[in-house]
Structure 1
Amino acid sequence: MVGIGYRKDFAEEFSKNTLNPAFIEVAPENWINVGGYYKKMFDKALEKYPLFVHGLSLSVGSPEGIDVAFVKQVKQFLEETKAVEYSEHLSFSKCENAHLFDLLPMPFTEDAVKNVSKNIRQVQDILERKIAIEIVSYYSPIAPEMSEIEFINNIVSEADCNLLLDVNNVYVNGFNHKYNPKEFIPQLDLSKVKYIHMAGHTKVASDLIIDTHGENIIDPVYDLFQFTMELMHRDIPVLLERDFNIPELEVLQYEMDKLTTIKANALKKYKNAIIT
């Protein structure tokens, strides 16, 4: 199944069946306590599509811990919408009373592993469900004590959480930090991957690309997605992310269809290999 982020920008188009996703995704921060016209449109979409929820401000990396009141709001939202999955970013966005309005990476250190894992476990205890943590893009490592892959795997293991694999983020990080994404992805605990994101990015210099979610997916990222799906050996929900610079909706449907085809071919290849 391949889904798309549900946005107020094209809420009316959803009601006209211009797009045909298998599911939709929203950020809870954008919809908790929303009423009126857009709430009616959202409720109508929920009658047709399963919902995945992807948060922006949980800030599992915050040293002071999580905002319990906010997590309880998220829990209520998940229950009211019958959300299939809740995911968040392996990052921090606030420190004490300062909200940074960005998804900042954390240092790859043992202290950070312990703090993040503790925060994730607390969130999961409150929600009474596991969450999936997304590998984020980052542009400068901060005093690392371990590799990025060790950092991610240690947190997933210690927090006993799931993993959201953003294929474009891995491509962006590989390009910017000069490692091979096809060597990075097989080192993850792929059994923990419950959800995949796909998106476009922007090349701003010969040696720098930025994860923007504002462009079409490029062929090397499609290739990395195919490589990833051939490793999975199972069907995984995939989301097409497009946050701004929204094209004609036919373009979004084309990208969803292409992701669906790549997924189907990878699964067919795996099943044929088992039979033979």
Structure 2
Amino acid sequence: MRRTVGLGLRREFLTDVLELEPQIGFWELAPENWFPRGSQAQRTLDRVREQAPLTSHGLSLSIGSPDPIDVGFVKQVKAFLDRFNIAIYSEHLSYCSAGGHLYDLLPMPFTAEAASYVAERVKQVQDIIERPLVLENVSYYANFGGELSELEFINQVAEEADCKLLLDVNNVFVNSVNHRYNAHDFIRSLPSARISYGHIAGHSEEYDDLFVDTHGADVKQEVWQLLAFAYECHGIFPTVLERDFNIPPLTQLLQEADKVVSCQTNYERRDVKAVSTDPA
């Protein structure tokens, strides 16, 4: 398994991880899922990171919330990152709180004012965690309108905040169907230098024009093809296979993660072939 291919670490197969020591490039986890679990959980994570590095993908930062940044929470995240030597902290370009927790990831209005607002909050978080904050493009099912496109909004936030991006390929695909835009143009127009890593996952197709990012199924062929295109545009970036529901045995997930390896290998082969046939 390549070092550039990761899996989301889930409690459903944690025992197998410890016993089988699977070959995986890295594990991704949500810090807040581990905060309340005590010293035994810390020892477990120490055993896991002996096998492969850890990266983190948060759930409750709520970077776009109208509420002030929860500085105490962010400091808790930083202590966790430091304790387990985690270089990357990623989160969703959305919000999940407004006068209380909303238990969902809600999209931002795509306006220049909102982008600047988020960028200032990103800077505040980055100052505390002493690392870049990596923001994920999210799936959304209602468009609140605004003067910017989704792509323009993301690029403005990244530029003003000087932060990194997490390219979720499945979210691009789902949004392109639900909101009728060209997924290839979207991916092509992202700034390569800001892409820290990526996600790929399965989704459900409720109707012809309504796809839902469930993380509860195998990755569809169209999404694999879009991942290959993303590598062609931006080069190979570390990529996590996400699975949050209907979780199969770890061995089955590892087989699906091997498809990420295949995408990366195929890109490298085409790249080497292009170089070898270049008359220059």
Q: So what's the TM-score if we normalise by structure 2?
A: 0.94
Match of 1:128 in 2: 130
Contact 1:108 1:142 in 2 (8 A): yes
Q: Hey, what's the Cα distance between the residues in 2 that align with 1:46 and 1:31?
A: 14
| Aligned partner of residue 102 in structure 2, secondary structure | strand
**Structure 1 residue 72, shift from structure 2 partner:** 0.4
Q: Which runs of 4+ in 1 moved over 3 A?
A: 36-40
Task: Please tell me whether residue 24 in structure 1 is matched to residue 52 in structure 2.
Answer: no
**Structure 1 residue 16, shift from structure 2 partner:** 2.1
Q: So what's the TM-score if we normalise by structure 1?
A: 0.95
Q: Hey, what's the Cα distance between the residues in 2 that align with 1:51 and 1:166?
A: 18
Contact 2:115 2:156 in 1 (8 A): yes
- Residues paired across the two proteins, number: 274
Contact 2:64 2:93 in 1 (8 A): yes
**Structure 1 residue 13, shift from structure 2 partner:** 0.4
Q: Which segment drifts farther, 168-177 or 187-196?
A: 187-196
Superposed, 1:1-276 pairs within 5 Å as 1-17=4-20, 19-35=22-38, 37-96=40-99, 98-233=100-235, 235-275=236-276, 276=278
Contact 1:50 1:84 in 2 (8 A): no
Q: Hey, what's the Cα distance between the residues in 2 that align with 1:224 and 1:9?
A: 29
Q: Hey, what's the Cα distance between the residues in 1 that align with 2:38 and 2:12?
A: 16
For 1:255, give the aligned amino acid. E
For 2:105, give the aligned amino acid. L
Q: Hey, what's the Cα distance between the residues in 1 that align with 2:148 and 2:238?
A: 30
Q: Hey, what's the Cα distance between the residues in 1 that align with 2:244 and 2:50?
A: 23
**Structure 1 residue 43, shift from structure 2 partner:** 2.1
Contact 1:18 1:249 in 2 (8 A): no
- Alignment root-mean-square deviation, CA: 1.4
**Structure 1 residue 244, shift from structure 2 partner:** 1.3
**Structure 1 residue 14, shift from structure 2 partner:** 0.2
| 1:155-190 residue CA offsets vs partner (Å, 9 max, x unmatched) | 000010000000000000001111110111111112
Q: Hey, what's the Cα distance between the residues in 1 that align with 2:141 and 2:97?
A: 19
Contact 1:8 1:38 in 2 (8 A): no
List alignment gaps of at least 5 residues for structure 1: none
For 1:187, give the aligned amino acid. S
Q: Which segment drifts farther, 262-271 or 60-69?
A: 262-271
- Matched-pair identity in %: 46
| Aligned partner of residue 120 in structure 2, secondary structure | helix
**Structure 1 residue 261, shift from structure 2 partner:** 1.2
